[in-house]
Chain A
Amino acid sequence: MELKFELNGKKIATVVEADSLLLDVLRSLGCASVKRGCESSNCGLCTVFVDDKPVLSCSVLAARVAGRKVTTLEGLQEEAADFGAFIADQGAEQCGFCNPGLMMNAIAMFRENPHPSEEEILSYLSGNLCRCSGYEGQLRGIQSYLAFKDAQKKGEV
């Protein structure tokens, strides 16, 4: 079947099967940041935005995004580079496989709640699993990024 949608700001027309998963279609369109982890809605690795909301692309039929706006990490380069540096600074990750999913969901959180408490961060990101780190470094990275953004707004940096 024919599928038309917007991907990272560009209009896309492609052909998919009725049971193609959004994850596979995005990867076939060159979005290698979208990773397949558990493929059972558990790990958060495959997180993308559909109409600006974070969803698990391993559990969304591609057919369902017809006429909608899909964003992957490739479409958020500037925001992601900025934030990613803080995660790297904390040595928060080891293999880095979970990183794109974490970045996507953290960016969704920053947009929804620019001043999250520690509990709110842990709660919002609880669907992003990491096999290597103990989450502490990621939490520190997020908190220092938020502190930096605040200081930037106040003209302190």
Chain B
Amino acid sequence: MLTIRQYVRAESLEQAYELNQKKANLILGGMHWMKMTTRSVDTAIDLSGLGLDTIVETDHTFEIGCMVTLRQLEQHPALNAWCSHAVADAVKDIVGVQFRNTATVGGSIFGRYGFSDVLTVFLALNARVVCHHAGEIPLEQYAQMPADRDILVKLVVDKRPMQVSYQAMRHARTDFPILTCAVSCVDGVWQASVGARPHKAALVRDQEGLLCGGVDETSAARFGDYVAGQLNFGSNMRGSAAYRSQICGVLVQRAVLAACEVK
């Protein structure tokens, strides 16, 4: 059970950061994951009054505040037009609309959960994280760092032209995914982000140039096999390592073909 002694609506990021340096204190995201943990929190720090709940589109970037909800991500027309709906596809099966109306980007990325659809898609979009203290860090690096007491302020993605697609496999809609996969091609280089292995998402780049000669069913399948071969998979109640490895190749192939709109 989660207990909280004191609730503070932070008046500035600095105040929130200072409060968060105490181990017994905690930043509140949408509270969904945190509520499933057993913990006695001294001060729960709410960032909702700091204007971090918007997606700002600039000439070159989308800046996504940490309090933006998964539903906002799903419904943002410009973000989804730019990424061929990969972000909406990634979040649309996370529990339900009511859940996505409060689950946050900050909680999803800070948590670096193995099953995360959110981490998977933003890795493929080459996102960067902006932390209050540590500043800007590539998400690929942040995903590998242990959780610390910094505040994740926003995610930044460059609006570079990109072919991208998202695929995931679930036993049933709204269940945790068995495997998540996002592929993208930036400046001619293909990469695949694969999560829920059940380990957290990791990026594999097409170092061998398997897709350099063009994308068709065969080259996409070869890239799928290559990606599966580069990653380690584990077993849990949702699937075995061998099963995950098999479907990894298939999902990567499908994602590459979908990104190129090859039917």
Q: Which residues of A contact B (CB under 8 A)?
A: 1, 18-19, 40-42, 44, 47, 53-56, 59-61, 63-64, 66, 105, 108-109, 123-128
Contact = CB atoms under 8 A, between A and B. Distances in A.
Interface of B: 2-7, 9, 28, 30-32, 35-36, 41, 44, 46, 48, 92-93, 95-99, 101-102, 173-174
A105 B31 contact: no
Contact of B99 (A1, A18, A41, A109): A41
Among A42, A47, A126, find the residue whose CB has the most chain B CB atoms closer than 10 A: A126
B95 A41 contact: yes
B11 to A, nearest CB: 14
A63 B98 contact: no
A105 B97 CA distance: 8
B174 A126 contact: yes
B47 to A, nearest CB: 11
A41 B5 contact: no
A126 B28 contact: no
What DSSP secondary structure best describes chain B's contact surface? mixed
A128 B32 contact: no
Contact of A18 (B4, B30, B31, B92): B4
Contact of A19 (B4, B46, B98, B101): B4
Given A19-B7, A59-B99, A63-B7, 6 more contacts: A18-B6, A18-B7, A19-B3, A19-B4, A60-B102, A63-B46
Contacts of B9: 66
B96 to A, nearest CB: 1
A56 B69 CA distance: 14
Given A41-B99, A44-B96, A56-B102, A64 B46 contact: yes
A39 to B, nearest CB: 8
Of A47, A59, A128, the most chain B CB neighbours within 10 A belong to: A59
19 contacts: A1-B7, A18-B4, A18-B5, A18-B44, A19-B3, A40-B36, A41-B32, A56-B102, A59-B32, A60-B102, A61-B4, A61-B7, A61-B44, A63-B46, A105-B98, A108-B97, A126-B93, A126-B173, A127-B95
Given A18-B6, A19-B2, A19-B3, A127 B97 contact: yes
A20 to B, nearest CB: 9
A85 to B, nearest CB: 24
Contacts of A66: 9
B142 to A, nearest CB: 25
Contacts of A105: 96-98
A40 B35 contact: yes
